Structure 1
């Protein structure tokens, strides 16, 4: 079943169109990054310590960075692959035929998820290698082993991030019988977390900000609560995890007091420390994915499947 689902996705026009759009957007971000790096090197304003990683994070201002494109357009791949995973089978009458075979229900839902996640992994790894290859060809600067490992860790985090949206869309495909309804539900949540959620948190922040005369503990507590609210969004978790992996100079994802800053050595973190710093964000995205999959599994196991006459 996994092989069949994987092949069906590869041969679909929907997947081809999405990949074409995302590939063009990524090539544009590579051009903007190369332009920014070349301008910074000529003016001696660009740090060349991790120059190759800047292919993913730098931009000249005309287009967003590669990480931004993956964060914004990556969920579209997950939604497109999962919004009709179950309801289309049910509407066509093929679901009852599949369930009449010696096939467990959990194998069916696992095959749908596994095939789509494998395809997402192939796409994101291919895009990551495309950026690395074009960067090596254009700037002529080979990556260090640590930079290659950081890029691979970034791609793994991106697969988990897109996998969450895949699981969410599969959940909607089980809950709603119409494919259009499940697609609109997934796109609505994607827009909400990508655009409106940060606005809502900013409004809450402005309404609950303590006064300047408040104690340090009160102000730090407020900042931690706002961080906790922001981290409900998978997009925010993804941005925090990727910033630590692709920007070794990032040493903390929360507020630091003066006592914590004094005496700190201004140097990039090693890869192991960057992974430890981004580990809670990765675990949070995995937990959200598992929650969506668990709800999908329970709903599908409890649904009644009837053959259509």
Structure 2
């Protein structure tokens, strides 16, 4: 498939999607939200413990992880839910398909453009938010923070891939938006509650291997684990080190699972779009 792709067509679609998000100031708005939250959490994230001020990058990232799990999936799902069904409702999809461009190129171009917009806003927002703290950060802190931002982008791309699948399957924009919000509720709010309920009902018989495997069914949990096991201090704060099997605490494996979450919904979306 890749050998027959006209990458210039993909770039044209991706550039249009990215420019549209720049033009309507979507990237700037999201970047501003991220930077304000990053600054607020860096300085006031430990206020409940009676301390105010920057207490280290590990503590900041531990607080930001919970925030990002709520915000990034929602932003990604809203960003992509009408990518295809919106074009269909406006009548522009038929015109697009009448041109010498394949459905795969259209889908890939839209995904690339939207991913670029999401990545730009995430990097700008969290980068600007921590810029004022640069004098207090060492080289190790910068790498750790960069890893956190990259993992947030990967999670966003996973949910963006899911939103493209929704956009291909939905009959109209209203239903697509409803399904997108439903997915956000399920993965961000309901999934972990169901898992905790199963753990309680099993009275501890749910082994760590099965528990860890079930966590891999949620890209938000994969993101959380990526950042928990990147620092011993963060592990102690979350207390998951004794629950997770060693095989599922390796960042390389977790990144591979996150990439699978990006690729799999996209493949299904392409199959259905064809």
User: Does the 8 Å contact 2:35/2:127 carry over to 1?
Assistant: no
Alignment match of 1:101 (pick from 94, 99, 102)? 99
Aligned length: 256
Q: What secondary structure, in the 3-state scheme, does the structure 2 residue paired with 1:245 have?
A: coil
Q: Report how far residue 116 of structure 1 moved.
A: 0.6
User: Does the 8 Å contact 1:72/1:194 carry over to 2?
Assistant: yes
Q: Are 2:208 and 1:223 equivalent residues in the alignment?
A: yes
Q: Which has the larger radius of gyration?
A: 1
> Which ranges in structure 1 are unaligned for 5 or more consecutive residues?
58-64, 211-218, 257-275, 302-309
**Residue 25 of structure 1: aligned partner:** 37
> Which ranges in structure 2 are unaligned for 5 or more consecutive residues?
1-12, 244-248
**Residue 168 of structure 1: aligned partner:** 162
**Residue 218 of structure 2: aligned partner:** 233
User: Does the 8 Å contact 2:36/2:129 carry over to 1?
Assistant: no
CA offsets, 1:176-216, max 9 Å, x none?
Answer: 12112111111111111211111211221122125xxxxxx
Alignment match of 2:253 (pick from 258, 264, 280)? 280
Rounded Cα–Cα distance in structure 2 between residues aligned with 1:249 and 1:83: 34
Q: Are 2:236 and 1:242 equivalent residues in the alignment?
A: no
Rounded Cα–Cα distance in structure 2 between residues aligned with 1:41 and 1:101: 57
User: Does the 8 Å contact 2:14/2:113 carry over to 1?
Assistant: yes
Between the two structures, name the one with larger relative contact order (CA 8 Å, sep ≥ 6).
2
Q: Are 2:174 and 1:180 equivalent residues in the alignment?
A: yes
**Residue 187 of structure 2: aligned partner:** 193
CA offsets, 1:142-190, max 9 Å, x none?
Answer: x222221121122111111010111111111110121121111111111
Q: Report how far residue 250 of structure 1 moved.
A: 3.7
User: Does the 8 Å contact 2:73/2:159 carry over to 1?
Assistant: yes
Rounded Cα–Cα distance in structure 2 between residues aligned with 1:157 and 1:118: 15
**Residue 153 of structure 2: aligned partner:** 159
Name the TM-score, length of structure 1 as normaliser.
0.73
Name the TM-score, length of structure 2 as normaliser.
0.82
**Residue 10 of structure 1: aligned partner:** 22
Pick closer, same or farther for the CA change 1:20–1:177 going to 2, 3 Å. farther
Cα RMSD (Å): 2.9
Q: What secondary structure, in the 3-state scheme, does the structure 1 residue paired with 2:45 have?
A: helix
**Residue 51 of structure 2: aligned partner:** 39
**Residue 268 of structure 1: aligned partner:** none
Q: What secondary structure, in the 3-state scheme, does the structure 1 residue paired with 2:155 have?
A: helix
User: Does the 8 Å contact 1:83/1:170 carry over to 2?
Assistant: yes
